[in-house]
Structure 1
């Protein structure tokens, strides 16, 4: 049964792409959003985009959430939408009836937030030692709501970083829209040496989870282990406000970044890959479609 965004109480887990904060952002940008109840405790956010000639394309990213695997599979099997349905499942799934697998699964790093002592004890020894060194350096850490004019230096640095490393992040318009419709839920963690910013990081808040969105560094920040201190301060800030999980994002390399994420005490959580269901007139052709050998999500 479809409900308007925000109607169903948030349940854990709550990845960004299944959150009310994300639904608010998509709606403000003109994307059609629907949130369904799944069984007694679950929910699923579906986004629909309309394309000339193609018509509606539906996407479920890391959903459904809050229900067991059987209920989630039954929901996806019986879900009625117009046009193709693409599902990036949030858990490993050997198969989904009526769907063809397009890509294999990836993994994300999920960090449980609790007490200061417990989180400190869960740090890998090398990560904890780097944090100790950072705590002795003359760095000032700030945690402020995102403001486009005030944090232009961070966005410019990230855009330059994207060109160098050949990846894509949210366009600035999406980030600004998220900030506008979810006041105070984008936190900018910055490290300063004197008055000069040497490292920056953006955390997206969507209770009871938060998501590590982007980060930039300088040689001075890197040598001072600024990112260790910034993540640690973010962990404390979120835990003190009742957040339960910090999603550190995909574990896809480079190896140093993966180690940085997992050594915070985060655990590797396997997603379920990408699946496609075509409209009924095209369903008989599914059996003849093959995923290219070795293709990865």
Structure 2
């Protein structure tokens, strides 16, 4: 059963995928990129011999998008649009919806951070503070044998999902010194939990984490997230994105993220658009019109 949630629409911060820091990391890989004249980052690749241009978490505007695409010479490429906000008007251009919007949890790092937590989350934090864990904070070491990277790779393999490549995470740390912050909890000399955050401008994004059974029993992630929240706020970070929230398939994780006081914000889903077709496919927008507006 899905959780009943109130959805608010705060002014979105600049997402990681459109940040200067992300561009810097990509420049150290083999990724092919292009920048539209309004500053939007485009990722380019060939898939099955087809030229594809992807606009990840982009802020799109109906009045300017067609001109920007034409000006950048991308009009004949298949466009994968992932708006950072609901954009049902894309269907009017001939874009076809292929994935309904998800939601992200955004936490404002101003005001009374502890007071905005849900009571149960705050209770877990108090419990964690009594467990005698030792916390460390460091820049992510630029080497592939990090405990957190090893554990995350094993976790992805076991659960059958993929996120960023290890190489891209390391490139982010190398290209943006001091912007990939690793928080680790130790029981004695043994690491029991860790969380990695990527800073970009006055925002930060939760990236990866891992906990052991001992860490879970001690609510170590509550303590690590609290440590990260207060440290980031002290450095002038105003918004922390905690990632996507799925109240049906990952209800426990959703409660953990929202228990911090974070709010939900809908993204814009995924769309495919090939401009040469014009508005030929625009009638298909009605197949999922309600879902693509906002969920």
Question: Scaled by the length of structure 1, what TM-score is found?
Answer: 0.84
User: What secondary structure, in the 3-state scheme, does the structure 1 residue paired with 2:98 have?
Assistant: strand
For 1:270 and 1:150, the matched residues in 2 are separated by 34
Higher relative contact order (CA 8 A, sep 6+): 2
How big is each residue's C-alpha offset from its partner over 1:68-104, in whole Å with a ceiling of 9 and x where there is no partner? xxxx222223222241111111112222231222221
Unaligned runs of 5+ in 2: 1-10
2:270 to 249, 274, 277: 274
Aligned residues: 273
Tell me the equivalent position of 1:254: 250
Alignment of 1:167-246 (within 5 A): 167-246=161-240
How big is each residue's C-alpha offset from its partner over 1:152-206, in whole Å with a ceiling of 9 and x where there is no partner? 2211111111122221122211111111111121111100011110001111111
Q: For residue 27 of structure 1, report the CA deviation from its aligned partner.
A: 2.2
Q: For residue 273 of structure 1, report the CA deviation from its aligned partner.
A: 0.9
Q: For residue 47 of structure 1, report the CA deviation from its aligned partner.
A: 2.0
Question: Scaled by the length of structure 2, what TM-score is found?
Answer: 0.85
Tell me if structure 1 keeps the 8 A contact 2:245–2:254: yes
For 1:197 and 1:291, the matched residues in 2 are separated by 51
Tell me if structure 2 keeps the 8 A contact 1:102–1:291: no
Note closer, same or farther for the CA distance 1:265–1:200 as it changes in structure 2 (3 Å cut): same
Tell me the equivalent position of 1:8: none
Unaligned runs of 5+ in 1: 1-10, 66-71
Q: For residue 237 of structure 1, report the CA deviation from its aligned partner.
A: 0.8
Alignment of 1:43-192 (within 5 A): 43-51=39-47, 53-55=49-51, 57-64=52-59, 72-79=61-68, 80=70, 81-82=74-75, 83-96=77-90, 97-98=92-93, 99-115=95-111, 118-149=112-143, 152-192=146-186
Tell me if structure 2 keeps the 8 A contact 1:108–1:247: yes
For 1:133 and 1:283, the matched residues in 2 are separated by 59
For 2:180 and 2:145, the matched residues in 1 are separated by 12
Alignment of 1:2-41 (within 5 A): 13-36=13-36, 38=38
For 2:48 and 2:56, the matched residues in 1 are separated by 23
Q: For residue 136 of structure 1, report the CA deviation from its aligned partner.
A: 1.1
For 1:150 and 1:177, the matched residues in 2 are separated by 11
Note closer, same or farther for the CA distance 1:123–1:177 as it changes in structure 2 (3 Å cut): same
